[in-house]
Structure 1
Amino acid sequence: MSKLKNKILKDYLLNKCSTREIESLRQWLEESEDHASQLFKIEELYHLGKFHMNQDAEHIEKAEQNLFKAIDNSKSIKFKSPHFLRYAAVAIIILCTCSYVGYFAYHTNKAFSMIEVSATAKSVKRVLLPDGTNVWLNHSSTLRYPQKFTKEKRDVELKGEAYFEVTKNPHQPFIVKSDAMTIEVLGTKFNFNTKHSNNYEELSLLEGVVQIHGNNDKSTITIIPGQKIILNKQTQQITIQRVDARMESLWHENMISFKRSNIQKIVAILERLYNIHINIDSNINQRMTYSGEMRRYEQIDSTLKALCYSMPICYKRKGEYIYLYQINK
């Protein structure tokens, strides 16, 4: 992949990239450091005009049109040649003569300009951060991060649940902040749930090492892969457990995980995932448990059919109501 499509470049500048375009851009950037350097220069040219404090909206729009016209006049963007960069620079500079003050204002704004991304109540959303870190947001979760990380650290804020695969950088710690905890890593994989319940936050570690700081406590705790830390937000009490961390994060692969779960716990999980009420018949054995993982289907009927195949239970629907009952053998 030596060329970058013009549409992807324009969508990137306008923050309109689709998930597929972001993935293509990420792969292209990983091919060479020169790709990242040249893309950064074009982005600088674009934003220098937008952040110049003396430009009105009409001039900014016209400058954008000139830049995008220059992009369209090239069959594809080949960064081995500087001609396109010079053309793009002229297109911007014609209408936006940016001083050092404008340049400084752009970088200051970019470092502190926050982007907020949320997953809907029915879907998992994947986010690619500026450093190449991948984040999967669980349902109704929100992530805030700067348009550009500082040289010293990579700060993000989380409300809800997210699975992180953090790009390694020993000189730039990756920090996740929630209402109750601050997580610091250099490069690792972990699942962080800030709303496990009203009073608890949980973090499970798959790879690497994580340091946890309670926001109301100066102490620091370090956990290793296979451990989960649970923080009581009211009492600040911390508990560490051994867990199958992969099972804790299966949701980001669109899977549902059950571990020695009785029917009450299974139903509670399904009700939360599908936002629906399920009635449990009194004849179901409450001590019966199920362990395993299954695909989370878009429709709950498909998920229930898979569950009934694994357990001696069945279900029926009456309008919007779902009833579970045990099969008597």
Structure 2
Amino acid sequence: MLTPDEALYALLCKYLLKEADSNEQRWVNTWLQANAEHPVLLASLDKLLRTVPGEVVKGGMDTEMAWKVLSERMELGERSGGEVSRDRGEGDPNGMSDMVDREGVGTAKTRSWWMAAAAAVFLLISVGGWYIIHQNERQINYDGAQLVKLEDGTSIQLDPAAQLQVLPGFGKKDRKVILKGKATFDVTTDASHPFIIDLGNQVITVLGTRFSVDNSNQLRVFIHSGKIKVTRRQDSVILTAGMLLEEDTSKQHYQVGAHITDAETRAVVFKDTPLREVLQTINVLYHVNVTADAALLELPVSGTYTGEPVKNVLDAIAYATNANVIINGADFELRPQD
């Protein structure tokens, strides 16, 4: 069990590593204002963590022996200082003894400060080493809009309502996190440690890529680059760059569109793409249901569209395939021209 001092320095380590939650940050800020020496100690800890992380991890410092050595040195310094003060004060007709006394008091205060500082350094090395060794054995939580940088180099941009949990042991056998809400991932490639995103009833396995995930209501995943695998029960789908996946909760299956350069702006590029694939992408991107006559489905379609209304896109495709757009309520159908 940590002593109160060890608990304090463990919290300060957490604060400096930017892993403290809002309550812990407020507590540390209050602690910093309570005493002028506190910012000095925090700066010392910050320097220690930045300059000697390897030594701290190798550590193994015997803090009990360090305290013994420290106390012996301080006792020797006190004895030497006391003899000097007495020698300089004897037979002083000009009142120099008062000055010596004041110097003695100043020296004692300085010595006390350095004793506290030295003690803090020993404690920082001990607790800092414990913290660095064990920090990846605990769960770390992130809430709200922020850019999260993980120790493997992966960066995750969270939306305001998103929640991310980095599970204990991250980076040992795998790199596993739990996501609720929407986030954009830029995952560092590491074939020996797969990056796994747990979405509750679905799992995403990442091979090194940049992609966006929206797990707020129904799952929506867009791949900017690279490749991922989305798994639900016994089903799995491989997604590559330019693909958009949406979960159809009513039919309990995935819908996947391709040839997308930006899902947010509905930017697509078709180059001799079969109409079958084009309509599948439009269905996913615009959340509509578009069907076509079987005679049209294999016709090649080329075109670039960004942010166009779905009716404009369908009119352009119909013109290229010599078809008509038929509107049936909220649905659309392409039929060959007579």
Relative to its length, the structure with more helix (as a share) is 2
TM-score w.r.t. the length of structure 2 is 0.44
Q: Which has the larger radius of gyration?
A: 2
TM-score w.r.t. the length of structure 1 is 0.45
